[in-house]
A and B are shown apart, each in its own frame.
Chain A
């Protein structure tokens, strides 16, 4: 028996092994849940329906809307910077386009802004960590694009709308699905290496909630391969990037338009002032807020700074009551708790199996349904408990080689194989334990087809924006989102560069107004945001901190 797992799990692993050949023969579409049963399952088991975990926002453009408490806490907080502390007349960077966030959306926007004629030196990318250290780069599964003969962009549209419970913004979904094949071709021309079959044709794979095989993958490093290439292209074009320099507040003109941002050097703690004709927010999502205490697949900087800054500047948000929990986060061992186990494993035949060795769910339901069903199985007492009290469902990974031949798992999932090898678990020999993990911010800043927010001068693209995915995103639509709307943001910024927009005086007037609103609502003055980075330091250190001038 596997030494990798505690001995008390042996019986359960044997049951999974014993039922494998029979499960392998079974047509699992018979387990597909009728659409009319989705609502009652989600209502009872999906974390989005635990009303006590949500609160009404008391200030700002979405006043009265219900959002997760962790978000409300950040929106109902005072600007960290006091306007009197900074001199906004001294401009450090004067550019056409300021791009806040160096993940996929921002990088694509920069490339297209330059492609459309803005000189590289008039673009500025600023980012909290290193250029590319973002959720985009962590995406494993693939990018959806309807290229197969039996598929069509309209079918992709239908799947995306249905997956999002028809709450998506139709014009955004049309752009997403219609431009997807063009994005794959753009990548190919940049030199992205997608998986090909023995004849050299691009391979397409199935994903949850999709009715056709539509995923374009690069092993299980799809996001990394895309990000490496587009970042390399930014470097070749000489587009300036400021790393370890998060934006901490947007700057507005007396008319209320966004005209740049205030940046903060993470090393020296000094601030910089940027003036820009157009500001693109591509700061990603909120995974590191650990909504409802969930572990997350997200990178260290996913703290919703962009949402907070945009909201203060008057940008309307949407679908903020909707959070994506990826059905399969790692549940064991503890060191990798919550890390992403790509849906592509289920796409290639991996099955979720309970501790009795039974497959109980169609493996490719939309993510919210799949996650809720896994949570139900655990609440029904059919999960495998870990030594640290977390429940898990077996994901029967040895099926991959059984279906596709020896070596298939290693070829398709090298990152997953590496992840487990460090802990002496071989996923081709034994199943792995999974449980839903906080993965994606479905909603965000409301945008139109040109990525314009409700605030003048402010565009948004990628996870920070809302409307593309409605109340639930499909697999393979996030990397697509940042490409399609990053591109549109770059093009829109280039169009604005042609207009005679004069950014005059820069102010923090919007922050003053927001502060007054918070005060009027009687909100505790000790709360500050944006968060910038989560707090993981040990309690003993935090209890003994002294702020001592050096």
Chain B
């Protein structure tokens, strides 16, 4: 990182209202580190997958509160930020194998009845850093469509911003987790090829081949590898 300020354009970043001059073009996370913060919370994978770095911000002169991931969002001049390193939302405990479990919206409503409190205000959609249709996913539960909830929320990184913004105090990201598991386990069918292969392995179909290949010398193995046929079509 070039630290010579004359060589680069600088912007003002306000971390908990303390102003820092930081190079334009840095992500919020990199800019905080440039400013001297050793991050231990509100930081995780640094690649947009873990949801640890949800950050709320407002740009000077504007009134809207916005939110994004600190590891992905590039700083803007006059940006006031506060990271949300933890979301105090309730996750229900359940036994996914329980006999009454199925890919049914009723299950979701029994664990999370507050879904019915959705007032369709759209705030969850507006704040989602993944730009998911969170509200539609919750409405799908009321319409009895678990698969739709699961698929609409498939790219959820569970940062929790939706639940922090929700006037109905709905923990959307936890509800979506249960929806996906119900769909994955009970909505989809077992895979025929997979079932067949498991049977073959249990029956010892490959035991002899394993014995042969594991008994082969290095040169023999190398030859088998070099001459193996690619079937990728």
A391–B46 Cα distance when bound, in Å, is 22
Interface positions, chain B 187-233, Cβ under 8 Å from A, are: 188-195, 197-198, 201, 206, 209-210, 213-214, 218, 221-222, 224-226, 228-232
A181–B205 Cα distance when bound, in Å, is 14
Residue B52 is within 8 A (CB to CB) of chain A in the complex: yes
| Contacting pair A236 B95 (CB below 8 A) | yes
Residue B60 is within 8 A (CB to CB) of chain A in the complex: no
| Contacting pair B33 A190 (CB below 8 A) | no
Chain A nearest Cβ from B139, distance in angstroms: 20
Residues of A within 8 A of B46 (CB): 299-300
Chain A nearest Cβ from B37, distance in angstroms: 7
| Contacting pair A538 B36 (CB below 8 A) | yes
Residue A531 is within 8 A (CB to CB) of chain B in the complex: no
Asked whether A538 and B181 contact (CB < 8 A) given A211-B229, A415-B48, A418-B130, the answer is: no
Residue B49 is within 8 A (CB to CB) of chain A in the complex: yes
| Contacting pair A188 B50 (CB below 8 A) | no
Residues of B within 8 A of A212 (CB): 231-232
| Contacting pair B228 A211 (CB below 8 A) | yes
Residues of B within 8 A of A340 (CB): 47
Residue B162 is within 8 A (CB to CB) of chain A in the complex: no
Residue A15 is within 8 A (CB to CB) of chain B in the complex: no
Interface residues on B, range: 35 or more
Chain A nearest Cβ from B120, distance in angstroms: 25
Residue B108 is within 8 A (CB to CB) of chain A in the complex: no
| Contacting pair A181 B48 (CB below 8 A) | no
Residue B172 is within 8 A (CB to CB) of chain A in the complex: no
Residues of A within 8 A of B (CB): 29, 35, 129-130, 132-135, 137-138, 145-155, 157-159, 161-162, 166, 170, 174, 178, 181-182, 184-185, 188-194, 196, 200-202, 206, 211-213, 218-219, 221, 223-225, 228-229, 232-233, 235-236, 238, 244, 266-267, 297, 299-300, 334-335, 339-340, 364, 414-415, 418-419, 422, 533, 535-541
Residues of B within 8 A of A419 (CB): 48, 72
| Contacting pair A182 B44 (CB below 8 A) | no
Q: What's the dominant secondary structure at chain B's contact region?
A: loop
Q: Supply 23 A–B pairs (Cβ within 8 Å), ascending by A.
A: A35-B225, A133-B50, A137-B45, A138-B50, A145-B194, A149-B193, A150-B231, A159-B225, A161-B221, A162-B222, A166-B218, A181-B198, A190-B181, A191-B96, A193-B184, A238-B93, A299-B50, A422-B72, A422-B73, A533-B39, A536-B33, A537-B37, A538-B35
Asked whether A184 and B194 contact (CB < 8 A) given A154-B209, A166-B218, the answer is: yes
A297–B197 Cα distance when bound, in Å, is 34
Residues of A within 8 A of B193 (CB): 147-149, 201-202
Best-buried of A35, A194, A196, A536 by chain B (most CB within 10 Å)? A536
Residue B180 is within 8 A (CB to CB) of chain A in the complex: yes
The 10 A-B pairs at the shortest CB distance, nearest first, are namely A191-B181, A541-B36, A133-B44, A162-B225, A191-B184, A191-B185, A193-B184, A299-B45, A154-B209, A536-B33
Chain A nearest Cβ from B134, distance in angstroms: 15
Chain B nearest Cβ from A229, distance in angstroms: 6
| Contacting pair B213 A157 (CB below 8 A) | yes
| Contacting pair A153 B206 (CB below 8 A) | yes
Interface positions, chain B 123-165, Cβ under 8 Å from A, are: 130-131, 150, 154-155, 157-158
| Binary CB contact string for chain B from 99 to 114 against chain A (1 if under 8 A, 0 otherwise) | 0000000000000000
| Contacting pair B49 A147 (CB below 8 A) | no
Q: Taking CB as reference atom, which chain A residue is nearest B45?
A: A299
Stretch at the interface among B11-19, B22-30, B76-84: B22-30
Residues of A within 8 A of B72 (CB): 419, 422
A189–B27 Cα distance when bound, in Å, is 39
| Contacting pair A335 B157 (CB below 8 A) | no
Residue B118 is within 8 A (CB to CB) of chain A in the complex: no
Residues of B within 8 A of A174 (CB): 210, 214
Residues of A within 8 A of B186 (CB): 191
| Contacting pair B49 A221 (CB below 8 A) | yes
Residue B57 is within 8 A (CB to CB) of chain A in the complex: no
Asked whether A537 and B183 contact (CB < 8 A) given A158-B213, A232-B177, the answer is: no
A334–B194 Cα distance when bound, in Å, is 42
Residues of B within 8 A of A185 (CB): 194-195, 198
Q: Taking CB as reference atom, which chain B residue is nearest A536?
A: B33
